[in-house]
Structure 1
Amino acid sequence: MALTIYNKISILQLAFFFPSLVVAGTLTYRHGFRRSSGWIYLVILSLMRIIGASMELATISSPDNTSIAIGAQILQNIGLSPLILVLLGLISRSYLAMSENSRPSLPNTRVLRLLQLVIVVGLLLSIVGGVNTGNQVAKELGNGSPISYKVASESKAGTALMVLGYALLVLSAMALLFRIGNIPLGEKRLLIAVFVALPFVFVRLLYSILSIFDTSNTNFHQFGGSTDAGYYVLGMCTAMEIITVIIFEAVGLTLPYVPHNERGSLLNPNRAVNRFDVHGQPLSEYPKPQQGGQA
C-alpha cells in the first residue's frame, strides 16, 4: 500500500519532533517550568505533533476509524498557538531582563499577561471548533454521504484571536527593538530570534486563516481537500513549524544557565533586577560548601 502525502508528513514529524521533544525538555529544565519562559510550549507542540502523527499513521491499519483521523486533524490545526506562545515567552523574557526604568510603557507586564490570555482563549476555541467540525464530518461519513462541513464559529473566533495575538506580538517586539540597547547582551539574542521566526509563524498563521475563512479553496480544506491539499500542509504548516522550532531551540541552547534560586529575578516582574554582565552571565556568586565545616 502506497503512502499518502499525509503519511509521509507524519513520518517527517515523528523523525523531527522526537529529538525536538528531548531538546525542549532540556531547555524547560534548564530555564524553568514557568510558562513565562516559553520553553514549556515547545514541549507541548512536540507532544502534539508526535501524538497527532501517530494517530494519522494509525489510519493506515484502521482506515474506517474516523475518530482517529479527526483527532489527528484537530491536533494538526491547533499547532499554531504553541508557536505564538513561545514568541510571547521570548518577548516577555526580553522585557523583564531590562531594568525597570528602561522598559517601554507598552508593552508592560499587564499587557503581556492579557496577550497570553487572548492566545490561550483562542487555543481553547480552536479545539472546541475542531471537535464540532469533526463531529459534522463523522456524521456525514456515517451516513455514507460525501464529506461536507461548515466551519464552526468557534474555529473562526479562535483564529481571529490568533491573528490579534500575532499582530500585538509584532507591535510588542517592535517596541522592544527600539530599546534593544537596554537589554543585556546575552538576552538580546532572544529578541533577534523573535524577528527571525516571525515570518515563518506568519506563513503558518496564513494557512490557518485560509483554511478557516476561504472555504471555497479546496487546497485548504481541513477535511476532504484537493489532491494537492497535503502539499500545502507540508509547505505552509509542517516546514514552517520545523524551521521555527529549530530557531527557538538553537537560541535556547546558547542562553546562559540561570540557577533555580535566580530564576525569580529574571522571570518575576516584582523581583526583576539587572544582574548580568556584558556577556549575559549572572553576576551573582553562588557559594560552594566550604571544606572543613568552616562557616
Structure 2
Amino acid sequence: MALTIYNKISILQLAFFVPSLIVAGILSYRHGFRRSSGWIYLVILSLMRIIGASMELATISSPDNTSIAIGAQILQNIGLSPLILMLLGLVTRSYLAMSEKNRPSLPNARILRLLQLAVIVGLILSIVGGINTGNQVSKELVDGSPISYTIADESKAGTALMIVGYALLVLSAVALLLRIGSLPQGEKRLLIAVFVALPFVFVRLLYSALSIFDTSNANFHQFGGSTDAGYYVLGMCTVMEIITVIALEAVGLTLPYVPHNERGSILNPNRAVNRLDTYGQPLNEYPPSNNQYSPRARQGGSA
C-alpha cells in the first residue's frame, strides 16, 4: 500500500519531534517547568505531534477505524496553541528579567498571565469543537455518506482567541524589544529568537484561520479536502512548527543553567534580597556573618 502525504508527514513528525521532546525535557529541567518559562509547552507540542503521528500511521493497518483518524486530525489542528503559549511564556520570562524601573507599563505580568489564560481557553474550545466536528464526520463515514460537515462554534471561538492572543503577543514582544538594552545578554538572545519565530507562527495561524473560516476552499478542509490539502498541511503547519522549535531550542541550549532555588531571583532581580543559601542565609550577606549558619558551628565546632 502506497503511503499518503499524511503518512509521510507523520513520519517526518516522528523523526523530528522525538529528539525534540528530549531537548524540550532538558530545557524544561534546566530553566523550569513553570508556564511562565515557556519551555513546558515545547514538551506538550512534541507529545502532541508524536501521539498524533502515531495515530495517523496506525490508520495504515486500521483504515476503517475512524476514531483513530479523527483523533489524529484533532491533534493536528490544536498544535497552534502550544506555539503561542510557548512564545508568551518566553516573553513573560524576558519581562521578569527586567528590573521594575525599566519594565514597560504595558504589558505587565498580569496582562501576560491573562493572555496565557485566554489562549488556554482557546485550546480547550478548539478541542471541544474538534470533537464535535469529528463526531459529524464519523457518523457520515459510518452511514457511507459523502463527507460534509459544519465547523463547530467552539472551534471558531477558539481560533478567534488564538488570533487575539497572537496579535497581543506581537505587541508585547515589540514593547519589550524597545527596551532590549535592559535585558541580560542571554535574555536578549531569547527575545530575538521570539521575533525569528513569530513569522512562522503567523503562517501556522493563517492556516488555522483559513481552515476554520474559509470553508469554501477545499485546500484547507480538515476532513475530505482536495488532493493537495496535505501539501498545505506540510508547508503551512509542519514545516512552520519545525522551524519555530529549532530556533527556540537552539537558543535555549545556549542559556546558562540556573539552580532551581535561584530561578525566581534570576528572572526577577527585585527579588534578589530574598534569595537564601542552603542554610537560610540571604545570599547578599554571604558568606554568613552569623555562626548559626555555619555547618561546623551547628555541629559543635568553632566557626
Normalising by the residue count of structure 2, what TM-score does the alignment of the two structures yield? Answer: 0.90
Aligned CA distance change for structure 1 residues 269 and 62 (closer, same or farther; 3 Å): farther
Sort the Cα spacing of 1:186 and 1:142 in 2 relative to 1 into closer, same or farther, 3 A: same
Q: Which residue matches 1:35?
A: 35
Residues 1-295 of structure 1 correspond to what in structure 2 (within 5 A)? 1-267=1-267, 271=271, 295=303
Partner Cα separation in structure 1 for residue 154 and residue 272 of structure 2: 38
- 1:286 Cα offset (Å): 9.3
Give distance in 2, aligned partners of 1:15 and 1:27: 19
Asked if 1 retains the 8 angstrom alpha-carbon contact of 2:99 and 2:268, the reply is: no
Q: Give unpaired runs (5+ residues) of structure 1.
A: 276-282
Highest Rg: 1 or 2? 2
Partner of 2:280: none
CA drift of 1:39 comes to 0.3
In the TM superposition, what whole-angstrom CA distance separates every residue of 1:115-169 from its partner, at most 9, and x where no partner exists?
0111000000000000000000001111110100000000000000000000000
* CA distance 1:270–1:155, change in 2 (3 Å): farther
Contact in 2 for aligned 1:127/1:155 (Cα 8 Å) = yes
Give the 3 Å change call, closer, same or farther, for CA 61–191 of structure 1 in structure 2: same
Deviation, structure 1 residue 43 = 0.3
Contact 2:28 2:39 in 1 (8 A): yes
Secondary structure in structure 2 of the residue aligned to 1:257 = coil
Task: Specify whether residues 151 and 269 from structure 1 end up closer, same or farther in structure 2 by C-alpha distance, changes over 3 A only.
Answer: farther
Pair 97,272 (structure 1): closer, same or farther in 2 beyond 3 Å: farther
Name the % identity: 86
Match of residue 278 from structure 1: none
Distance 1:132 1:49 in 2: 21
| 2:105 counterpart SS class | coil
Query: Shift in Å at residue 267 of structure 1?
Result: 4.5
Tell me, what secondary structure is at the counterpart of 2:271? coil
Contact 2:24 2:249 in 1 (8 A): yes
Q: Secondary structure at the match of 1:155?
A: helix
User: Which is further off, 194-203 or 261-270?
Assistant: 261-270
What is the distance in 2 between the residues matched to 1:136 and 1:159?
Answer: 19
Q: How many residues of Structure 1 are paired with residues of Structure 2 in the alignment?
A: 286
**Contact (CA 8 Å) 2:27, 2:253: kept in 1 or not?**
yes
Q: 1:294 to 1:121 in 2, by over 3 A?
A: farther
The Cα shift of 1:264 comes to 1.6
Q: 1:257 to 1:285 in 2, by over 3 A?
A: farther
Code of the residue aligned with 2:140 in structure 1: it is E
- In the alignment, structure 2 segments of 5+ residues that lack a partner are 276-282, 288-293
Shift of 1:266: 3.6
Q: Give deviations 1:222-269, integer Å, cap 9, x for gaps.
A: 000000000000000000000000011001000111111111224569
Distance 2:74 2:40 in 1: 21
Q: CA deviation at 1:271?
A: 3.0
Task: Quote how far apart the aligned CAs of 1:187 are.
Answer: 1.0
Alpha-carbon separation, structure 2, partners of 1:192 and 1:90 = 11
| CA RMSD, 1 decimal | 2.2
- How far the C-alpha of 1:91 sits from its partner, in A, is 0.4
Q: CA deviation at 1:100?
A: 0.6
Q: CA–CA distance in 1 between the matches of 2:302 and 2:48?
A: 52
Q: CA deviation at 1:33?
A: 1.2
Q: How far apart are residue 74 of structure 1 and its match?
A: 0.2
Give the whole-Å Cα distance in 2 for the aligned partners of 1:232 and 1:285.
59
Where 2:62 maps in the other structure, the secondary structure is coil
TM-score for the superposition, normalised by structure 1: 0.92
Query: In 1, distance between residues paired with 2:9 and 2:209?
Result: 21
For 1:156, what is the secondary structure of its paired residue? helix
Q: Is the 8 A contact 1:159 1:209 kept in 2?
A: yes
1:109 and 1:269 in contact (8 A); partners too: no
